[in-house]
Structures are given as C-alpha cells and as structure tokens.
Amino acid sequence: MPAKTSIARTRLDDRLSPLRELRTQLAVPHGGWSKALRTALGMTLEDLASRLGVTRSVVSRLETSEQKQTIQLDSLRRVAQAMNCDLVYVLVPREPLQAMVERQRDMVASDLDTRTRTHMRLEDQDEKDPRLANWRKEHSASLISDRQLWKTRK
C-alpha cells in the first residue's frame, strides 16, 4: 500500500505542479468567471438567459452566487456549457504533496518521540540517549503509515 500511495502521490504532484505555478494567474476575477467571460464575449444577461432557458434574473442570481462562492457546481457547469466553455474543477495543493506528507510525518514522529520519552521517564528509563530520537526519525516512514499520518492526536 505505501508504495502505491507514494507512486500515486508523485503522479498527482507531477500533474498539479504546473497549476500551482499558475495559481495567481487563475485567480477568480472579482465578479466571477461567468460574468467576466459573458462580458468579454459581449453577451448580455438576456443572451445568456436565453441560452440557458431561464430568465435574466436567474442569470443575475447565478452570477451573484458565483461571486459569493455559493454557486453549485452543476449550475456553474450549465453556465459554462451555455458559453461554450468547460468547467474545470481542481484542488491545487499549495505545495508538493510529498512535502506535505514529509512535514506531517515529522510532526507525528516528533509527537511519538515526546510520548515515548514521557513513558520512559515514568518507568525510570534513560530517555536522554540521542540515538533513540535519531533512530525514530530515520525509521518514521516504517513506524508511521500514510493512513496514520492524518489521524487526530489527543
């Protein structure tokens, strides 16, 4: 499982990397994409309403809901199709997925190290040996599975 997950993560990172670099260029225009495209095409609210088979006020509400980020994807998809566009829905990680996993693994390993030291202190064992912390950090990938990384710790 970990090898499959790692390969999937790498492939997804490769696909998303160009989008991460374009994120600022792809920021939603102030009034929303549908309004920006409609006006750039020279299309009126009435024109779009006619293409959608709805009233002008429905299109206005759709544009407002997109601007407020409350529009439903199926509605936005219909608007896109009416303007001969495709709706592309994607979640773009702010950093490479592998970096996110490694940072989370380090945090979980550090938590594990802290809890282990606490238990060792309670059992009056020598927890100050730096080799133990180094060993846990080096072996964190085998000690902490990908499925355990995102569990909420108490």
Sketch the domain layout of the chain as residue ranges: 24-82, 97-149
pLDDT at 2: 62
Average pLDDT of the chain, as a whole number: 85
9-45 pLDDT, tens digit each: 999 999 999 998 888 888 899 999 999 999 999 999 9
How far apart (Å, rounded) are the C-alpha atoms in residues 62 and 69? 10
Domain 24-82 classified CATH 1.10.260?
A: yes
144 pLDDT band, cuts 50/70/90, is confident
CB neighbours of residue 84 within 10 Å: 9
**Which residues, 6+ apart, have CB-to-CB distance to 1 below 8 Å?**
145, 146, 147
pTM of the model as a whole: 0.71
38-66 pLDDT, tens digit each: 999 999 999 999 999 999 999 999 999 99
73-117 pLDDT, tens digit each: 999 999 999 999 999 999 999 999 989 988 888 887 777 777 666
